Amino acid sequence: MPSVIDRSPVQIAVSSGGASPVLARLLRARLETMIPASYGKLADFVASFRDKVKQRFSFDERRRFWESVLQGPIAEMLLSGHTQAATKALEDLIGQKKALGQKYGEVYLVGGGPGDPDLLTFRALRLMQQADVVLYDRLVSPGVLDLVRREAERIYVGKEPTHHPVPQGEINQLLIRLAKEGKRVLRLKGGDPFLFGRGGEEIETLMDEGITFQVVPGITAAVGTSAYAGIPLTHRDYAQSCIFVTGHLKDDSMDLNWEALAQPHQTLVIYMGLRGLPVISRELIQHGMPPDKPAALVQKATTSDQRVLVGTLETLPGIVEAADIKLSSIIIIGDVVSLHEKLAWFTVVK
C-alpha cells in the first residue's frame, strides 16, 4: 500500500513497490512538511476560475497564466488566508491580458525563533525560500539566515542598545518601497515579531499604505531559552505566573513597576537586560524580592554556543561581569531557576 499525502482534491502517493515501506513512509513525512495543508483550498480556488480563464486565454496563454498565479503572490495570498485579496487580484489578472506579467508585492513578517534553525515553522521556511529580498535583524542566527533563498537580496537592519544604524522609521519606509516595486519582502526577526520585536509598528505602516502582508509567529527567546536551559517558566510548586519585560536603560535607570515585578510565586523574564542587570538587581531587592532569589542569565540559547550562568539576584551581576558576557542573552529570575541543575537536558558539544 502506498503512503498517501492527502490535500484533497490533490492526492500524492509514495510507493517503493514493496521494496521498503519504511522508506516510503519517511519520504511521505518529508513531503508532508513541504506541502501546506491549505494546498487543497488552493486547488479548489483554481478550479473556480478555470472556465473564466479558458474563455479569456488561448491554450499556451493559460499555461503561462496559471504558472504565474501558482508560483506568485496570488497563491501566497490565498495560502495565508487573504481569500478576498487573492480573488480580487486574480480577477484583475483575468480582466486584462497585459496584466500577465504584473507583480503584487507583499511583506512576510517572520519570526526566526531563538537561534536553532530546527525550531522554525513550516510556513516560515516556505516564505524564506520564496522571498526576493530579506531585511534581517542582529538576533537572527547565521543558521536561520542560511535557509533564506540564496538568490534573495540581503539587507542588514539590526540594532544594538546604543547603535541604530537603520532607524525604525527608515525600516518601515524600506519595506513600503520594496513592496511597491513588486517584490516579495521577508522581514526576518529573531524570536517572535510581536514580542518586543516592533512587528506591530511595521504592519501598522503597511496597512496604512494598503500593502498585503502576513505574520508568521516564531518561538520567542524567553520560551526557547527556558526550554533549552531546563528552567520551566511556570511550575505548580514554584510559579503560577510569568512576566516578560525589557531591561533597557535610559539615563542609567528603568521605568518599571518594581513592586509588581517583585511579587512572590512568579517568574520574571527580562529581555535586553544585560547592561541594566545591576540596576535590576538593586531595584528588585529594594522593593522586597529576597537577595537569595535564584537567577540565571542564558546567552545564545538553543545554539551550540549556549551558556547558562546561575546565581542569585544578589550575586548574578558579579557572575555575569566576571564571565565577560556580551549580547544575545535572556535573564530569568524566580524559584524555577533552582530546577536548572536537575532538568538541564541540552548539552553543548564543542
331 closest CA partner among 288, 260, 280, 292: 280
Cα–Cα distance for residue pair 306/100, rounded to 1 Å: 50
CB < 8 Å & 24+ apart, contacts of 34-42: 34/122, 34/126, 35/5, 35/7, 36/79, 36/122, 36/123, 36/126, 37/7, 38/78, 38/79, 39/7, 39/10, 39/79, 40/7, 40/8, 40/9, 40/10, 41/78, 41/79, 42/70, 42/75, 42/78, 42/79
Give the model's pLDDT for residue 62.
85
Strands (E), the chain: 3-7, 10-14, 106-111, 133-136, 153-156, 184-189, 212-216, 241-246, 266-271, 294-299, 307-312, 329-333
- Report mean pLDDT in 10-residue bins for the chain, 350 residues: 83 88 87 83 92 86 80 83 89 69 75 95 90 93 94 88 74 94 92 92 93 93 96 95 88 84 96 92 96 96 94 96 86 97 83
Cα–Cα distance for residue pair 195/204, rounded to 1 Å: 15
- Give me the active site residues, please: 137, 159
My answer on whether omega of the bond before 264 falls inside 30° of 0, hence cis, is: no
Give the model's pLDDT for residue 248.
80
Give the model's pLDDT for residue 63.
76
CB 322 within 8 A of CB 350: no
Cα–Cα distance for residue pair 36/241, rounded to 1 Å: 35
